[in-house]
Amino acid sequence: MIFFLETNVYQFFGRFHAIIVHLPIGFIVLAVLFELISLKKKTDLNLAISYAYLVGALSGVFSIILGLMLASDGDYNETTLNIHKWTGITMTIVAFLLFFIKRKQEALFWARKSYPVLVTLVVALLFVAGHNGGSLTHGSDYLFEHAPNPIRTLAGMKPVRERVIDLDSALVYEDVIHPIFESKCNVCHSNDKAKGDLLLTDAESIMNGGESGAVIVGGNAKESELYRRITLSPTHKEFMPTEGRTPLSKEETMLIQWWIDEGASFDKKVVELNISDRMMICLKDVGIGLEKTFIERLDLKAVEDNVIAAIEAQGFKIKPITGNSTLLEVAYSPYRKDSITSEKIEVLLQARTNIVWLDFSSLNLQVDLIAKLGQLENLVELRMSNTNLTDVGMKAIESLTHLEYLNLYGNPISDVSLESLNKLSSLQKLYLWKTNISEEGLKNIKDHLQEVTVISGI
């Protein structure tokens, strides 16, 4: 036992509870399963069933002992812990009863009568004990943490607030500080496990502090226990987070310091605080105030349903780029019998502003048709591999300056198109494999468009 002098023996063994506890669950489920099989197939599995209950009950006793050791640590939510403890103990007793009764079932009237009631009871207890045990280890929100809002509401949980990342409207606590606590601290500092009697879940609890009193002194990070804990040396035993969990990043630590120094407000907007250039960098690091991409800045009304229907009737595939976006992606299958025509494009152009992705790969496109594509002013991705695009055609689409992705694989364009390509200043990916553009031509493009990656096969 000399090894354990410096460690917590109870905790050492107690932690095995979480593993061992699966044995009684497994054996009891097995017993019930055998029961159902023997009813259905009319075979006698009584011996197997009674022993499954016995092993379930014995491993239950073992789990209870380990569980009590684990609970001696004391930082669990008391109600949840009590429900878990007593349902677990009762379940084990019922499993023992079932073991004895199962074999007497035929002979004794009372055993026959009580048996189904006890089976139902053991299953119900298993569920309640299991669910509360899960809440103790993972937090009661664990099960529905990623559920859609309607399901969360049914489970009695607050709907998730969509995190605001726009600098002007983000809130300093809700959008910057709270997500940090949630991801790095609240496995241990939320309702089911208030380690150190401290909850970091909401304004009131945070200001209530923990077992050593207040953890935040508004306006003074250096005097705040919470700040002290996160800036200790990671090897210090009071350093937070403990137990080798992922520590806060430098930026997260600086944001917490800034938030406390600026008064630890729970309702101010980020922009109501003093933001130095350094803080701006930290904010961007956690995703606040990033520059929006061209697509994110587009704020367009949805195209009307009848227009979409008319476009579909022409054989185009058209749909929102994601979920309920008003921006559209369009494709036309090269395997369709009716080939694409200028008339069809005219119909498509009714949704002109909203189309941002277009896939016309492997279609035979005439020059007059390509010329019309120049009107898709917000186009960001264009796939036109193997479409017979010539230098004349390329000239017709040089106005698509928001293009970030352009695939021209297998088209007969030459260095004559360099001037047009170099006008596409937003390009990030350009596919020029199997075109007639020369090596000097490629170099010329890379000189002009430094942001672009050219995929050329050379």
Q: Which residues bind ligand HEC (CB under 6 A)?
A: 184-185, 187-189, 195-196, 198, 209-212, 215, 225-226, 229-230, 238, 240-243, 245, 248
- Give the residue with the Cβ less far from ligand HEC, 73 or 419: 73
- Give the residue with the Cβ less far from ligand HEC, 80 or 201: 201
- Give the residue with the Cβ less far from ligand HEC, 247 or 315: 247
Is the separation of the CB atoms in 425 and 449 below 8 Å?
yes
Output the smallest distance, CB 184 to ligand HEC, in A.
Answer: 4
- Give the residue with the Cβ less far from ligand HEC, 92 or 224: 224
Output the smallest distance, CB 386 to ligand HEC, in A.
Answer: 55
- Give the residue with the Cβ less far from ligand HEC, 16 or 405: 16
User: 3-state SS string over the chain?
Assistant: CHHHCCCCHHHHHHCCHHHHCHHHHHHHHHHHHHHHHHHHHCCCCHHHHHHHHHHHHHHHHHHHHHHHHHHCCCCCCHHHHHHHHHHHHHHHHHHHHHHHHHHHCCCCHHHHHHHHHHHHHHHHHHHHHHHHHHHHHHCCCCCCCCCCHHHHHHCCCCCCCCCCCCCCCCEHHHHHHHHHHHHHCCCCEECCEEHHHCCCCCHHHHHHCECCECCCCCCCHHHCHHHHHHHCCCCCCCCCCCCCCCCCCHHHHHHHHHHHHCCCCCCCEHHHCCCCHHHHHHHHHCCCCCCCCHHHHCCCCCCCHHHHHHHHHCCCEEEECCCCCCCEEEECCCCCCCCCCHHHHHHHHHHHHHEEEEECCCCCCCHHHHHHHCCCCCCCEEECCCCCCCHHHHHHCCCCCCCCEEECCCCCCCHHHHHHHHCCCCCCEEECCCCCCCHHHHHHHHHHCCCCEEECCC
- Give the residue with the Cβ less far from ligand HEC, 23 or 217: 217
- Give the residue with the Cβ less far from ligand HEC, 215 or 382: 215
- Give the residue with the Cβ less far from ligand HEC, 175 or 225: 225
Output the smallest distance, CB 204 to ligand HEC, in A.
Answer: 15
Output the smallest distance, CB 81 to ligand HEC, in A.
Answer: 16
Output the smallest distance, CB 68 to ligand HEC, in A.
Answer: 19
Residues linked to residue 88 through DSSP beta bridges, in sequence order: none
- Give the residue with the Cβ less far from ligand HEC, 249 or 456: 249
Residue of 90, 23, 96 lying closest to 62 (CA atoms): 23
Output the smallest distance, CB 302 to ligand HEC, in A.
Answer: 43
- Give the residue with the Cβ less far from ligand HEC, 70 or 345: 70
Output the smallest distance, CB 380 to ligand HEC, in A.
Answer: 39
Q: Which residue is nearest to ligand HEC (CB)?
A: 210
Output the smallest distance, CB 241 to ligand HEC, in A.
Answer: 3
Burial of 304: CB neighbours in 10 Å, binned 0-12, 13-18, 19+: exposed
- In angstroms, the CA 136 to CA 36 distance is 32
Output the smallest distance, CB 213 to ligand HEC, in A.
Answer: 6
Tokens coding 295: 């697509």
Output the smallest distance, CB 264 to ligand HEC, in A.
Answer: 13
